[in-house]
Chain A
Amino acid sequence: AQTVTQSQPEMSVQEAETVTLSCTYDTSESDYYLFWYKQPPSRQMILVIRQEAYKQQNATENRFSVNFQKAAKSFSLKISDSQLGDAAMYFCARPATSGTYKYIFGTGTRLKVLA
């Protein structure tokens, strides 16, 4: 089965604090990409960060970083120094390797940032 699971429908974080969003996935592939996308309310879905599975080093983009555990098929997103503009829906995703899908998306985690 091709699944991506985000077990936290909603999370809250205080401004300037750190928050971690969880994602687990299923795959039989050894070489693949994983993605976190951000979708602010009524705004465009943008790519936050990408992890290449063959790279052991965790990807980092400014305040965003991942904790990639390949054996555990876990791919969490850490947001440091949270800002009000980080409030959004966050989707974890990976390309599908079979079937009638392009990407397999998680159900999303809504992040609220408290001032």
Chain B
Amino acid sequence: KAGVTQTPRYLIKTRGQQVTLSCSPISGHRSVSWYQQTPGQGLQFLFEYFSETQRNKGNFPGRFSGRQFSNSRSEMNVSTLELGDSALYLCASSAGAFGQRNQETQYFGPGTRLLVL
């Protein structure tokens, strides 16, 4: 089975621009979660999508948004980029079955490294 894939792997943007990152989950997985990883803040949860609906959302401003398509692929968008948005953005997929929230196993993609200048 193919793992989680993310594109692009690297991005350089300037302040004020917007960016779209893509994630393809493991085949059969319906849940996709996004995380921001920085040296100072560690791993921070952005949001989770399941069956094209946002199921969970972390404490990030509205500039961070996402969506999920019918094939479970997900995109996240960051508008009006700030220097502080420079980070590694990780996508993780899981089966996402309801009622088993504390038993879900997530598998991570390689990440997209975003640099904002």
A114 on the B face (CB < 8 A): no
Q: Could you tell me which residues of chain B, from 94 to 114, have a CB within 8 Å of some CB in chain A?
A: 101-111
Other-chain contact of B105, A35, A43, A45, A105 (Cβ < 8 Å): A35
> How many residues of chain A get a CB closer than 8 Å to chain B's CBs?
25
> How many residues of chain B get a CB closer than 8 Å to chain A's CBs?
22
Q: How far is the CA of A107 from the CA of B59 in the complex (A)?
A: 18
Q: Are A100 and B42 in contact (CB under 8 A)?
A: no
Instruction: Report the nearest B residue to A97, measured CB to CB.
Output: B102
Q: Are B48 and A102 in contact (CB under 8 A)?
A: yes
B22 on the A face (CB < 8 A): no
**A residues near B, CB below 8 A?**
29, 31-33, 35, 37, 43-47, 50, 52, 91, 94-97, 100-103, 105, 107-108
22 sampled A-B residue pairs with Cβ under 8 A: A32-B103, A33-B102, A33-B103, A44-B110, A44-B111, A46-B108, A47-B105, A47-B107, A47-B108, A94-B102, A95-B102, A95-B104, A96-B101, A100-B56, A100-B59, A101-B45, A101-B56, A102-B45, A102-B56, A105-B43, A107-B42, A108-B42
